[in-house]
């Protein structure tokens, strides 16, 4: 099976080192699609990172991350706008399919969740003309509700799509199984996103039972309870045929050699992440 539609988010293999070292590790395993984080890009320098991408014919399925708009004062909100414009410039230089937006939660000391959500909408509306000018799509990523206070006050796929509809052209969603697998309205909202061409990225990992750390105990595909083959079928039926991007924040996996991690990812991608894969293995 071709690995053309397998992408590696750099958060999964931070232990590999620098931007160039992570790329080399991916290439050793036949993986030519990546989703870098800004810390790796900035450490390498945007010109060098873009050169590495071009020299190796890599596909950049997303750039992580923009967002974090809410702030307790106007200076903080302006700083977020400026930083997001820099992130848009980086995404454009890398030729990224989208800039992933983790929108931010409550400002320090605040209990005003509706107010935080309004800051998010206002911030996105302000940077969107610049993103359109640079031909960078903004992928709003709804995060699981346990992140609402500190990381993202967008928590449902339908809620995120409502915001995309208000903002208009140049926006869509990053659908991460870790954050939305539990949503009882999931199938309806995925189909809605597909009809409107709003699926910009598909992130995969697994949900472990028990989960011991809500941030850093995500599972390798097949180790948890998410039916990833069925999930992918839902995404494809909605019209998205782009890469499955592996994003695993995990202390246990980041303690293992990077080549072991990538070899496991390739095997699980082939055996549990394809539509009908589990049923075929059981037959």
User: Which string of DSSP letters, residue by residue, matches 52-74?
Assistant: HHHHTT-EE--EEEEE----SSH
pLDDT at residue 277 in the model? 75
Domain boundaries, the chain: 6-282
pLDDT at residue 1 in the model? 82
36: its two tokens: 């870098």
Q: Tell which residue, 215, 172, 241, has the closest CA to residue 11.
A: 215
Whole-number Å distance between alpha carbons of 70 and 20: 33
Whole-number Å distance between alpha carbons of 49 and 43: 9
**Count of alpha carbons within 13 Å of 103, Cβ hemisphere only?**
34
pLDDT at residue 279 in the model? 54
Q: Residue 115 is inside which H or E element, if any?
A: helix 113-133
List the strands of the sheet with 59-60, edge to edge.
Answer: 59-60, 33-35, 6-9, 244-246, 199-204, 171-176, 138-140, 99-102, 63-67
> Integer distance in angstroms from the first to the last C-alpha of the chain?
19
Q: Could you list the pLDDT tens digit for every one of the 283 residues in the chain?
A: 899 999 999 999 999 999 999 999 999 999 999 999 999 999 999 999 999 999 999 999 999 999 999 999 999 999 999 999 999 999 999 999 999 999 999 999 999 999 999 999 999 999 999 999 999 999 999 999 999 999 999 999 999 999 999 999 999 999 999 999 999 999 999 999 999 999 999 999 999 999 999 999 999 999 999 999 999 999 999 999 999 999 999 999 999 999 999 999 999 999 999 998 755 544 4
* CATH label, 6-282, candidates 2.40.30.10, 3.20.20.150, 2.30.30.790, 1.25.40.10: 3.20.20.150
pLDDT at residue 283 in the model? 46
Q: What is the DSSP string of 78-98?
A: HHHHHHHHHHHHHHHHHT-S-
pLDDT at residue 278 in the model? 58
Contacts of 192 (CB under 8 A, 6+ apart): 158, 161
CA 198 vs CA 99, 181, 188, 234, 244: distances in Å: 13, 18, 14, 14, 16
pTM over 0.95: yes
Q: Which residues of 16-37 are buried (b: 16+ CB within 10 A; e: fewer)?
A: beebbebbebbeebebbbbbbb
Contact (CB, 8 A) for 130 and 85:
yes
Q: Tell which residue, 220, 1, 32, has the closest CA to residue 22.
A: 32
Q: Residue 7 is inside which H or E element, if any?
A: strand 6-9
Give residue 63's Cα distance to chain centre: 8
CB atoms within 10 A of CB 118: 14
Q: Point out which residues pair with 139 in neighbouring strands.
A: 100, 172
* Burial tier of 172 (Cβ tally within 10 Å: 0-12, 13-18, 19+): buried
């Amino acid at each position: 099976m071709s690995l053309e539609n397998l992408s590696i988010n750099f958060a999964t293999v931070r232990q590999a080192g620098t931007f160039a070292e992570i790329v080399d590790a991916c290439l050793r395993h036949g993986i030519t699609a990546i989703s870098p984080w800004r810390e790796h890009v900035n450490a390498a320098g945007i010109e060098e990172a873009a050169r590495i991408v071009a020299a190796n014919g890599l596909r950049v399925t997303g750039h992580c991350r923009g967002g974090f708009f809410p702030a307790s004062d106007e200076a903080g909100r302006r700083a977020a706008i400026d930083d997001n414009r820099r992130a848009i410039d980086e995404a454009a230089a890398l030729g990224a399919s989208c800039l992933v937006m983790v929108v931010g939660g409550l400002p320090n000391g605040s209990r005003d969740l509706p107010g935080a959500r309004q800051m998010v909408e206002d911030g996105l509306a302000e940077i969107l003309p610049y993103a359109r000018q640079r031909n960078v799509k903004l992928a709003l990523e709804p995060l699981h509700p346990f992140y609402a206070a500190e990381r993202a006050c967008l928590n449902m796929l339908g809620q995120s799509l409502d915001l995309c509809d208000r903002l208009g052209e140049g926006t869509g969603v990053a659908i991460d199984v870790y954050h939305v697998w539990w949503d009882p309205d999931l199938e309806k909202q995925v189909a809605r996103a597909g009809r409107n061409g709003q699926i910009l990225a598909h992130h995969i990992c697994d949900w472990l039972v028990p989960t011991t750390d809500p941030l850093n105990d995500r599972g390798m595909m097949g180790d948890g309870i998410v039916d990833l083959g069925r999930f992918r079928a839902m995404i494809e039926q909605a019209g998205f045929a782009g890469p499955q991007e592996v994003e695993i924040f995990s202390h246990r996996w980041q303690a293992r050699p990077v080549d072991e991690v990538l070899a496991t990812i390739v095997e699980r991608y082939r055996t549990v992440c394809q539509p009908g894969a589990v049923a075929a293995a059981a037959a």
